[in-house]
Amino acid sequence: MFANLCAKQNISTNCRMKHPETLAIRTQTAQSQNREHSVPLYVTSSFTFESAEQGRALFADEEEGNIYSRYSNPNTSEFIEKMCLLEKAEDGFAFATGMGAVFASLAALLRSGDHIISSRAVFGSTHQLFTKILPSWGINCSYFDAAHLELVDSLITSQTKVMFVETPSNPGLELVDLGFLRGLCVRHNLVLIVDNCFATPVFQTPADFGADLIVHSATKYLDGQGRVLGGIVVGRADLIASIRFFARHTGGALSSFNAWILSKSLETLAIRMERHASNALELAGRLQKHESVESVKYPFLTDHPQYELARKQMKAGGGIVTFIIKGGFNAAFSFMDNLQMISKSANLGDTRSIVTHPASTTHSKLSEFERCQVGIEPGSLRISVGLEHIDDIFNDIEFALEKVANLTRSKDAISG
């Protein structure tokens, strides 16, 4: 696989580069006559043809090359190539946002009357897509619980075409057993799509477990510095061909500037993820011992209900820790307002630690019952653990937890 991709990218197949993190650093698909060491930014809407005949051949797909940046651009191509190497995928297409990638992947492959099966715990906008937007076009979705995969088979009908999963899920950090689902997908001829946003290819390569397509919000760890929006789908070449056709003619392409940023960011993805994960594991352990914390969720904590699966599927637990604060909604809000360093934002995967209250923001469009089903409580808080020193992160959290505890104590004293 890597040898093929190396050949495609004019990287010598005799090269001794074997590891994805090296290829993410060393892959460069374009260089001008100036021989710059860092790939140039191609800010151009279109490309010129050497001749009228070449224009015809490019449009007829008889020749490979850039035509128009809605179709392809050297910067987006480089970002795609790197992601294919990291995800062990054959091909890909990059989008303006993660939701653009999720939507186009489904819209390109499904027709009115088709049916999707998805793990219940998915990102808020993906849930809106499954329950509000696609049904109005005659495409319906059935959810299953990751803890009861034995029931999935019974949901599959002759109309089912796609199995969609997010693992680990946002924000509940629920895992889905990809190997198990792959068996079902093969038996029923379903396309398995995995949203790999939380783990990133550094910690999980769904292609190893038979995923057909892997989608990402590049806005998160792939950028990793909270600068640009982006999305990508990579996977089986035949499926990507359909997605590319859909995307080219519906116009969700990633901009060259954002692609340039993202391609550069991939050079540091592995090293950033290692620090995100070591900070997150340490924070999760410390939170578990705190008296103001009801419960903590992190895939690599031994008491995570799917710890064994996490060890099987992932190399590390990722950079997100979710916990439930004692005192519910009011305590969660008070905790957030007492943080002095950690940012309050809806984003994640930044160098800077971020706290989010999913029930009132990213998952506010779900009903209370739906939130409860995916483990989001009024007191749930999602920490995107950044790259700051772990002691500074924990001290900020500890300070805010103490403030909330003191407030509760004084209220109790007044009412008592």
Q: Three-state DSSP class for 216?
A: strand
CB neighbours of residue 217 within 10 Å: 29
Nearer to ligand PLP, 72 or 126 (CB): 126
Contact flags string 110-139 toward ligand PLP, x per CB under 6 A: -------------x-x--------------
Nearer to ligand PLP, 71 or 123 (CB): 123
In b/e form, how buried is each residue of 114-133, taking b as 16+ CB within 10 angstroms? bbbbbbbbbbbbbbebbeee
Size of the chain, expressed as the number of residues it contains: 416
For helices 256-266 and 74-87, give the axis angle rounded to 10 degrees.
Answer: 40
Among 21, 78, 114, 195, binds ligand PLP (CB under 6 A): 195
- Which residues have C-beta within 8 Å of that of residue 308, sequence separation ≥ 6? none
Q: How many residues bind ligand PLP (CB under 6 A)?
A: 14
- Least distance CB 409 / ligand PLP (angstroms): 36
Nearer to ligand PLP, 5 or 199 (CB): 199
Nearer to ligand PLP, 6 or 197 (CB): 197
In b/e form, how buried is each residue of 348-374, taking b as 16+ CB within 10 angstroms? bbbeebbbbbbbeebbeebeeeebeeb
User: Quick one: 277 exposed, middle or buried, by C-beta within 10 A (0-12, 13-18, 19+)?
Assistant: buried
**Residue 318 binds to ligand PLP (criterion: CB under 6 A):** no
Please report the sign of the dihedral spanned by the C-alpha atoms of residue 162, residue 346, residue 246, residue 77: negative
**Residue 322 binds to ligand PLP (criterion: CB under 6 A):** no
- Least distance CB 334 / ligand PLP (angstroms): 25
Q: Say if CB 170 and CB 183 are below 8 A apart.
A: no
Torsion, Cα of 245, 246, 249, 255 (10° steps): -90
Among 197, 232, 254, 310, binds ligand PLP (CB under 6 A): 197
Nearer to ligand PLP, 219 or 255 (CB): 219
* Structure tokens given for 188: 């029923």
β-strand partners of 344: 355
Contact flags string 142-181 toward ligand PLP, x per CB under 6 A: ------------------------x---x-----------
- Least distance CB 28 / ligand PLP (angstroms): 25
- DSSP class of residue 131 equals I
Nearer to ligand PLP, 360 or 395 (CB): 360
**Residue 255 binds to ligand PLP (criterion: CB under 6 A):** no
Nearer to ligand PLP, 178 or 197 (CB): 197
* Structure tokens given for 270: 């592995």
Helix residue spans in 90-203 (DSSP H): 98-109, 124-128, 178-188, 200-203
**Interacting positions 210-239 with ligand PLP (CB under 6 A):** 217, 219, 229, 231
Q: Which residue is nearest to ligand PLP (CB)?
A: 98
**Residue 384 binds to ligand PLP (criterion: CB under 6 A):** no
**Residue 378 binds to ligand PLP (criterion: CB under 6 A):** no
Contact flags string 82-101 toward ligand PLP, x per CB under 6 A: ---------------xxx--
- Least distance CB 26 / ligand PLP (angstroms): 27
**Positions in the binding site for ligand PLP (CB under 6 A):** 97-99, 102, 123, 125, 166, 170, 195, 197, 217, 219, 229, 231
